[in-house]
């Protein structure tokens, strides 16, 4: 009966959103919304959905922006930052757009900017339609419209520089200071009670793992005579997506920012959205239905808007969030990050090769993309979801060089990239060479481009403010631009050396489509005694008429590579202008410790 009613609704000539000119693609997407609704809420009327689809049609008319270029995110260099920590407020970021352009960035990922008590760096959202006043740089008397204009102006400035903007939106939970939750806790019959998950005891969801082990004792928090459910901190109650109002309200929250010009969204914590008793409450089928709904909403209003999956899972699970090119456009490759660190510590390519093998990393849909990173806003994650006990132990022993860096009882390491690599610009550049040339879209964490160190002062300030000893605060902290300016004027400074190497890599990468779109073929290089060099990670990146040979020396020693019967390199420099060293007879290549070469290939190469 619901489906028949809905088909009649579409055929009603009086409906303002239906016309002969309506895009067939939109009609198909609207059918997707109906299909998702019926799967999630089979015994619920479609009245609310019908009203929501009317809204979508009207919003599409309001949006003044053109559709994005298809798969634009494959050619992106993403830079993630906290607005206030990067440079105070949005005006501060505008002042640094030239700096970011000079680095080679063409996409900004704004870490949480929405209104929040800031007990979890802004991931505890108290209002999805407002930006925190302190990062807007407006006065207390400014109107909501004036505040909105500040953000719109920033977006326009970034877009003029060719820089797209995406930001975080927590879909799984809110702050306990959100209006919905404040109302929810008032009484059992409050209209917002069902926006969250309440129970009189802790008997539900017993199989659900504790994500913040060592920081939270339980996934249930007592509130009066009742308990509410949470996957993260106790001040972040989980939303109840079994209530269809939540699905629609969260869609409206996304659309609000889409109308202002935001180019994409990082969907935070999506593996945990749907809860079902008797399960682990992770990666349930309903999660994919919900994500498919969000994707259809975005595609109706502004096609090719990025929906990025933050699914801290094994690749075989993350791939499922791409769907059949109808869920997320892209997802983070979490397991690759720790294995890059392991390979460098071991001076052996095998951990990376294994991680990117089909057994670990399945093929993804043609339009989809992995996002890769060395560091992000959190710890060097070593969750057993995608890291073995053996790997966790090895990486922890090699990189947790200060007991204070330990996070969640060995499940991670809270340290900046420069700290993890002993403030050695060679190792930092090598790690970036690997990340920037392997398949995927790279993400650079603010400050890492000049070797920012752990911030002890900020760490202590945040413990005092939040009451939580969260060592992830060590990897945040403010940029001292005056000090950086002095360092960047000195070619011998650590900051200058790191920035110079990374900016060269980024600018070079942007000239070649093969890095973001091409295939990879592994190359096994041998020494002068015809023995494999496991310390050398080498591969071809190929796209159309582009073919590049990448050579990364993971070793602390100089290596000699035999070129006989393999390749004939005539160039004296690689594509970054680095000198290529040969032996006298020119049949062997010499590569220094922790060095890398990106070489253009014009002849045949046998992997």
3-state secondary structure of 181: helix
Beta-carbon contacts of 405 under 8 Å, excluding residues fewer than 6 positions away, are 413, 414, 415, 419, 454, 471, 474
What is the reported pLDDT for 376?
Answer: 83
Q: Where are the domains of the chain?
A: 72-170+240-509, 173-238, 519-600
| Token pair for 242 | 């079994």
Q: Is residue 310 flagged as an active site residue?
A: yes
What is the reported pLDDT for 12?
Answer: 38
Report whether pLDDT(9) > 50. Answer: no
What is the reported pLDDT for 213?
Answer: 83
DSSP state of 492: T
Q: Which CATH class is domain 72-170+240-509?
A: alpha beta
Q: Smallest Cα–Cα separation from 324: which of 356, 278, 289?
A: 289
The burial class, CB within 10 Å (0-12 / 13-18 / 19+), for 500 is: middle
Report whether pLDDT(466) > 90. Answer: no
Q: Please report how many Cα atoms fall inside a 13 Å half-sphere around the Cα of residue 554, on the Cβ side.
A: 21
| Token pair for 272 | 């945990």
Q: Smallest Cα–Cα separation from 264: which of 173, 328, 211, 344?
A: 328
Instruction: Indicate the pairing of strand 127-131 with strand 406-407.
Output: unpaired
| Token pair for 264 | 């994409």
Beta-carbon contacts of 23 under 8 Å, excluding residues fewer than 6 positions away, are none
Residues 160-183 have pLDDT tens digits of 999 999 999 999 999 999 999 999
Quote the percentage of the chain above a pLDDT of 90: 83
H/E element, 229: strand 226-229
What is the reported pLDDT for 299?
Answer: 96
Report whether pLDDT(586) > 80. Answer: no
Report whether pLDDT(136) > 80. Answer: yes
Q: DSSP per residue over 369-421, as a string?
A: EEEEES--SS-EE--TTTS-HHHHHHHHHHH--SGGGEETTTTEE---HHHHT
Give the strands of the sheet with 519-522, arranged side by side: 519-522, 536-543, 546-553, 596-600
> 144-158, 278-292, 404-418 — which is least confidently predicted?
404-418
Are the CB atoms for 417 and 521 separated by under 8 Å? no
The one catalytic residue in 238, 268, 299, 535 is: 268
| Token pair for 154 | 């920033």
Alpha helices in 281-358 (DSSP H): 285-301, 315-318, 336-346, 350-355
The one catalytic residue in 310, 383, 406, 535 is: 310
Are the CB atoms for 485 and 495 separated by under 8 Å? no
pLDDT band at 286 (very low <50, low <70, confident <90, very high): very high
Are the CB atoms for 127 and 115 separated by under 8 Å? yes
What is the reported pLDDT for 143?
Answer: 92
Alpha carbons 131 and 331: distance in angstroms, whole number: 25
Residues 496-550 have pLDDT tens digits of 999 999 999 999 999 999 999 999 999 999 998 889 999 999 999 999 999 999 9
What is the rounded average pLDDT of the residues 185-201? 97
The burial class, CB within 10 Å (0-12 / 13-18 / 19+), for 476 is: buried
The helix-helix angle for 244-260 and 285-301 (nearest 10°) equals 40
Tokens 């198909």 locate to: 28
| Token pair for 195 | 């926006």
Q: Is residue 424 flagged as an active site residue?
A: no
Report whether pLDDT(7) > 50. Answer: no
The burial class, CB within 10 Å (0-12 / 13-18 / 19+), for 572 is: exposed
Beta-carbon contacts of 79 under 8 Å, excluding residues fewer than 6 positions away, are 100, 103, 105, 107, 108, 109, 443, 444, 446
Are the CB atoms for 456 and 463 separated by under 8 Å? no
Q: SS3 letters for 31-65?
A: HHHHHHHHHHCCCCCCHHHHHHHHHHHHHHHHCCC
Q: How many residues does the chain have?
A: 607
3-state secondary structure of 480: coil
Are the CB atoms for 60 and 30 separated by under 8 Å? no
Backbone angles phi, psi at 351, to 5 degrees: -55, -40
The burial class, CB within 10 Å (0-12 / 13-18 / 19+), for 305 is: buried
| More confidently predicted of 384 and 265 | 265
Are the CB atoms for 193 and 184 separated by under 8 Å? yes
Backbone angles phi, psi at 469, to 5 degrees: -85, 80
Residues 195-227 have pLDDT tens digits of 999 999 999 999 999 998 888 999 999 999 999
Alpha carbons 128 and 173: distance in angstroms, whole number: 11
Report whether pLDDT(1) > 90. Answer: no
H/E element, 539: strand 536-543
Report whether pLDDT(603) > 90. Answer: no
| Token pair for 46 | 């479609």
Alpha carbons 120 and 524: distance in angstroms, whole number: 45
Q: Smallest Cα–Cα separation from 113: which of 145, 157, 148, 62?
A: 148
Alpha carbons 604 and 286: distance in angstroms, whole number: 48
| More confidently predicted of 596 and 5 | 596
What is the reported pLDDT for 3?
Answer: 36
The helix-helix angle for 494-509 and 425-437 (nearest 10°) equals 20
What is the reported pLDDT for 151?
Answer: 97
pLDDT band at 467 (very low <50, low <70, confident <90, very high): confident
What is the reported pLDDT for 20?
Answer: 40
Residues 326-375 have pLDDT tens digits of 999 999 999 999 999 999 999 999 999 999 999 999 999 999 999 999 99
Task: Label residue 586 left, alpha or beta by phi (over 0 means left) and psi (-120 to 50 means alpha).
Answer: left
Q: What's domain 519-600's architecture?
A: Sandwich (2.60)
Are the CB atoms for 390 and 354 separated by under 8 Å? no
What is the reported pLDDT for 247?
Answer: 98
Q: What is the mean pLDDT of the chain?
A: 92
Q: How many CB atoms lie within 10 A of CB 537?
A: 29
Q: Smallest Cα–Cα separation from 534: which of 335, 346, 339, 337?
A: 346
Q: What's domain 173-238's architecture?
A: Alpha-Beta Complex (3.90)
Residues 375-397 have pLDDT tens digits of 987 889 888 888 999 999 999 99
């Amino acid at each position: 009966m619901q489906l028949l009613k809905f088909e009649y609704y579409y055929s009603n000539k009086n409906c303002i959103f239906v016309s002969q000119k309506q895009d067939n693609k939109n009609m198909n997407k609207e059918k997707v919304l109906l299909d998702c609704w019926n799967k999630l809420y089979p015994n619920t009327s479609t009245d609310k959905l019908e009203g929501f689809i009317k809204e979508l049609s009207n919003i599409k008319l309001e949006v003044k922006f053109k559709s994005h270029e298809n798969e634009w995110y494959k050619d992106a260099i993403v830079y993630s930052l906290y607005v206030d920590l990067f440079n105070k407020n949005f005006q501060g970021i505008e002042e640094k757009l030239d700096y970011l352009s000079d680095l080679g960035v063409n996409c900004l990922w704004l870490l949480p900017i929405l209104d929040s008590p800031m007990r979890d760096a802004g991931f505890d959202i108290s209002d999805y339609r407002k930006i925190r006043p302190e990062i807007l740089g407006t006065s207390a008397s400014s109107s909501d419209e004036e505040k909105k204009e500040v953000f719109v102006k920033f977006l326009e400035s970034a877009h003029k520089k060719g820089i797209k903007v995406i930001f975080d939106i927590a879909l799984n939970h809110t702050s306990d200071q959100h209006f919905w939750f404040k109302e929810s806790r008032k009484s059992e019959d409050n209209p917002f009670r069902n926006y969250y998950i309440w129970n009189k005891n802790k008997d539900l969801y017993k199989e659900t793992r504790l994500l913040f082990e060592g920081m939270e004792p339980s996934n249930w928090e007592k509130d009066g005579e009742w308990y509410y459910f949470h996957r993260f901190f106790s001040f972040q109650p989980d939303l109840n997506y079994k209530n269809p109002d939540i699905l629609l309200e969260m869609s409206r929250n996304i659309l609000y920012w889409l109308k202002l010009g935001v180019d994409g969204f990082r969907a935070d914590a999506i593996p945990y959205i749907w809860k079902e008793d008797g399960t682990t409450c992770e990666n349930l089928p309903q999660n994919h239905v919900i994500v498919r709904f969000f994707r259809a909403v975005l595609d109706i209003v502004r096609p090719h808007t990025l929906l990025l999956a933050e699914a801290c899972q094994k690749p075989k699970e993350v791939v499922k969030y791409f769907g059949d090119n109808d869920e997320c456009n892209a997802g983070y490759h979490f397991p690759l990050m720790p294995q890059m660190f392991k390979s460098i510590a071991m001076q052996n390519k095998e951990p990376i090769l294994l991680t990117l093998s089909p057994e670990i990393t399945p093929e993804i849909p043609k339009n989809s993309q992995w996002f890769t990173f060395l560091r992000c806003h959190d710890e060097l994650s070593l969750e057993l979801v995608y890291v073995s006990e053996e790997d966790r132990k090895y990486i922890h022993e090699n990189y947790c060089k200060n007991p204070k860096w330990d996070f969640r009882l060995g499940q991670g390491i809270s340290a900046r990239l420069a700290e993890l690599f002993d403030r050695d610009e060679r190792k930092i550049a090598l790690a970036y060479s690997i990340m920037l040339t392997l398949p995927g879209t790279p993400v650079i964490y603010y400050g890492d481009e000049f070797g920012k160190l752990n911030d002890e002062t900020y760490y202590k300030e945040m413990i005092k403010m939040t009451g939580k000893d969260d060592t992830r605060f060590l990897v945040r902290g403010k940029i001292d631009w005056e000090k950086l300016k002095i360092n960047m004027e000195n070619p011998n400074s650590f900051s200058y050396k790191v920035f110079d190497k990374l900016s060269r890599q980024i600018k070079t990468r942007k000239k070649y489509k093969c890095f973001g779109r091409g295939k990879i073929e592994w190359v096994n290089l041998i020494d002068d005694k015809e023995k494999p060099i496991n310390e050398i990670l080498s591969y071809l990146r190929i796209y159309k008429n582009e073919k590049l040979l990448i050579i990364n020396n993971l070793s602390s020693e100089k290596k000699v590579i035999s070129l006989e019967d393999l390749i004939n390199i005539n160039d004296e420099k690689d594509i970054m202008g680095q000198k290529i060293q040969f032996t006298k007879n020119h049949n062997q290549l010499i590569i220094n410790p922790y060095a890398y070469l990106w070489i253009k290939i014009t002849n045949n190469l046998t992997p």
